[in-house]
Amino acid sequence: MKRTFAAITLALSLGLTSCTNNEVAGVTLVAHDSFVMSEELIAEAKTATGPNFKIVKAGDVGEMTGKLVLTKDAPIGDVVFGIDNTFSSVIEANEVIGASSELVPIAFADICFNVDINYFKENNLVIPNHWKDLTKPEYKDLTVIQNPNLSSTGLGFLVSTFAAFPTEVQTIKWWSAFKNNGVKIAAGWEDAYYTDFSGSAGKGDYPVVLSYSSSPADEVDEQGNAKTAALRKDCFRQTEYAGVLRNAKNAAGAEALIKFMLGKSFQEALPGAMYVYPIDKTVKLPESWSLRAPEATSTIGGDLDIAKNRAAWLAQYNKVFDVAP
């Protein structure tokens, strides 16, 4: 009996030590700059993973991917959220995710151009039917997009341009026309949308911005009328993943956090917090999304081999737009 009691005591002691170590180490989530999590959800995450849960913002998705690759042997966190299907192959090729784990889809969004409705009304200008029309003279100097070397939004659009034309020559010809029509290249989505776009809080100089089909849900005037609209044809569907980082200090806590992200409370919060669609299709979307933020009517580019072609596509893009990688 004494030996049995001693064994149980030792097992309990080891279990408590392990739990304490996890709490001391905490769980660190690495996320892109657009990541938003309410205080209520943070409290729930702490219940699921331990009281020392924290979030590290690591730039736009491209910048975050680069940081994770460079620090994979001594990671800056335990788990990542926001790697998308334009950058996931870089993460996989560099073995950033732990060998016993994988990237898990958490949310998705459709990369579509948005327009400032009031600008088009005030200037008696017809809203373009398709993003290909943005090379027309009447839309000169109206558009801002993101640098695809740094931004997953920009890269998603880059991929869609290769899917939209029969040959690469035609794609590059369209880019040249787009550049000559005065498109601005911003570093990332937040700069483009919140600073340069005239239809959002920044009141910038560009009434057309590369954003998401869901963005108009939050852009309404005092009477509840829509201030922006999305061009929902031939958009790029972006899937966002979470994964346990290789050499994570608290892999068990990281797995618990991913499980939490797949749960109802986190999934239900995604539309309001980050304007993305929950991967859980049983989650009911806010009413405003049904009115102003439906999914794209068509998506393209998802079947292309992004991993194989990314470097060549970016090199061609950088040459046309004179953008540094």
Percentage of the chain with pLDDT > 90? Answer: 76
Identity of residue 300 = I
Look at residue 100 in the predicted model and tell me its pLDDT. 84
| CATH class of the domain whose range is 110-237+297-321 | alpha beta
Look at residue 222 in the predicted model and tell me its pLDDT. 83
If you average pLDDT over each of 58-67, 131-140, 147-156, which comes out highest?
A: 131-140
Residues of the chain with CATH 3.40.190.10: 2-108+238-291, 110-237+297-321
Indicate the range of 122-136, 215-229, 246-260 predicted with least confidence.
Answer: 215-229
Mapped onto helix, strand or coil, the DSSP state of residue 229 is strand
Fold of 2-108+238-291: D-Maltodextrin-Binding Protein; domain 2 (3.40.190)
Mapped onto helix, strand or coil, the DSSP state of residue 178 is helix
Q: Which two tokens stand for residue 237?
A: 């569907």
Q: Which two tokens stand for residue 231?
A: 């061009």
DSSP per-residue codes, 102-163? --EEEEEEEEEEEEEHHHHHHTT-PPPSSGGGGGSGGGTT-EEEE-TTT-HHHHHHHHHHHH
> pLDDT class for 25, splitting at 50, 70, 90?
low
Give the residue from 295, 144, 157 showing the smallest Cα distance to 205: 144
- CA–CA separation, 10 and 105 (whole Å): 39
Looking at the DSSP bridge assignments, the partners of residue 17 are none
Does pLDDT of 227 surpass 50?
A: yes
Look at residue 5 in the predicted model and tell me its pLDDT. 30
Mean pLDDT of the chain: 90
